[in-house]
Each structure stands twice: as C-alpha cells, then as structure tokens.
C-alpha cells in the first residue's frame, strides 16, 4: 500500500506518523483491498478553539473511502479518524463477502468489451451470451488492468435487466 501523510499549517509529529503507519498496516490483513492511503492533518490557527481536522482517503479495489473528523486535540482526532477508517474498511470487506459460493467451479469467460469512462464492461460467457459487469464487481484486480480477451471467472446474480456478474476474478484465482 502506498501511504502519503501530509500536514497543513503544521508539521506532522513523528509519534502521529508512527500511529498512522501502525493502524493502516493493520488494515492490510484484507488482501488486495487497499492500494493507496492519504492522511491529511489540518490545523486552522485562526480558530479560537483550535479547529484540527483529519481526513483519511483510502483507495480500495472498486471504491474510495473517505473519513473526516475534527476536534480540538490532533492526537484525539487522529485516533477517532483511524478507528472510523478501520470500521469502514471492515464494513466494506464484509459487503464483499455477502455472496454465497455455489458448489462447483465458477463459470468462465473472456472480457468482450470494456467501457472505461462509464465503469462497466461485458464478459463473453459463451458464443451468444454476454454478461454485464460493473467495476465494483472486480475482486482482486483493478478496473484499469482489465482488457479485452482477458480470461475471467465470475459469479452470477440477477440484476434489474437480467443476469449480471456479481463478482469477477482473474481466471484460476479464487
């Protein structure tokens, strides 16, 4: 995971940097989930109560999570924000596990079309059937890495307009 820590109107104390690195490293227990993290600590010197803000932006496969907290003491605000980020990642990870695995192998196909600007594509499942997938259905790979002809496995679910891929995996991975 790439980690950027930034202080605005203040220096980031080494103790805070260590806390951030420890807490965010713990979140790497979810494999292939977090690709980038940015922590911004902002101090507003003009506010009479010492308005300190912490913003944590986490780039996960398929989503960006943002946590914003503010308060008087930077260390307290930082701890609250890091705890909230941990809860958000846990909730996101649980939502990714909501699918019940069907017995047997997953259906296979190849990527037929990718619409990068719109965030979706189609999988050629067999000769005459294409399955819709959204960028959020990708599991263990980035939407930017998906290309036409790539072999994939997928799980089906019923969508508003028919069958769609609930999760898409690189072929051979589970």
Indicate whether 20 and 90 sit together in one domain.
yes
Whole-angstrom distance, CA of residue 147 vs CA of residue 162: 24
| Bridge partners (DSSP) listed for residue 41 | 7, 54
Last-in-domain residue among 52, 76, 96 = 96
Residue 101 domain-assigned?
A: no
- Domain with 164 in it: what CATH number? 2.40.50.140
Whether 28 and 88 map to the same domain: the answer is yes
pLDDT class of 107 with cuts at 50, 70, 90:
confident
Confidence of residue 97 (pLDDT cuts 50, 70, 90): low
- Co-location of 77 and 114 in the same domain: no
Provide the CATH number for the domain around residue 19. 3.30.160.100
Beta strands in the chain (DSSP E): 2-8, 34-44, 51-60, 63-71, 108-115, 120-126, 129-134, 151-159, 162-170
Greater model confidence, 112 or 26: 112
- Provide the pLDDT confidence category of residue 149 given band limits of 50, 70 and 90: very high
Query: What does the pLDDT read at residue 39?
Result: 95
Place of tokens 């605005």: 8
Q: Is the pLDDT of residue 141 over 70?
A: yes
Looking at the structure, tell me whether residues 116 and 39 fall in a common domain.
no
Q: How confident is the model at residue 96 (pLDDT cuts 50, 70, 90)?
A: low
Query: How many domains are contained in the chain?
Result: 2
Within a domain: residue 92?
Answer: yes
Mean pLDDT value across the chain: 85
Q: How many CB atoms lie within 10 A of CB 53?
A: 17
pLDDT of residue 44: 82
73 within a domain of the structure (yes/no): yes
Same domain, 154 and 133: yes
58 in the same domain as 29:
yes
- Domain enclosing residue 84, as ranges: 2-96
In a domain? residue 165:
yes
Q: What is the pLDDT of residues 2-20, one digit of tens each?
A: 899 999 988 999 999 999 9
Tokens of 125: 């499942």
**pLDDT at site 45:** 76
pLDDT tens string 29-77:
766 578 889 999 998 877 666 688 999 999 887 688 899 998 888 889 9
CA distances from residue 119 to 98, 116, 141, 155, 170 in whole angstroms, order as listed:
22, 5, 14, 18, 18
């Amino acid at each position: 995971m790439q980690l950027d820590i930034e202080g605005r109107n203040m220096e980031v104390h080494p103790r805070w940097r260590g806390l951030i690195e420890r807490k965010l490293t713990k979140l790497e227990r979810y494999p292939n989930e977090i690709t980038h993290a940015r922590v911004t600590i902002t101090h507003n010197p003009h506010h009479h109560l010492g308005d300190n803000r912490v913003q944590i932006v986490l780039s996960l496969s398929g989503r960006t999570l943002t946590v914003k907290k503010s308060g008087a003491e930077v260390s307290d605000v930082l701890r609250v924000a890091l705890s909230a980020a941990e809860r958000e990642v846990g909730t996101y990870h649980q939502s990714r596990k909501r699918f019940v695995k069907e017995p047997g192998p997953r259906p296979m196909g190849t990527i037929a079309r990718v619409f990068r600007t719109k965030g979706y594509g189609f999988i050629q499942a067999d000769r005459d059937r294409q399955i819709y997938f959204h960028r959020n259905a990708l599991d263990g790979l980035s939407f930017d890495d998906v290309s036409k002809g790539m072999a994939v496995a997928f799980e089906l679910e019923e969508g508003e307009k028919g069958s769609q891929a609930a999760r898409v995996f690189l072929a051979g991975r589970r």
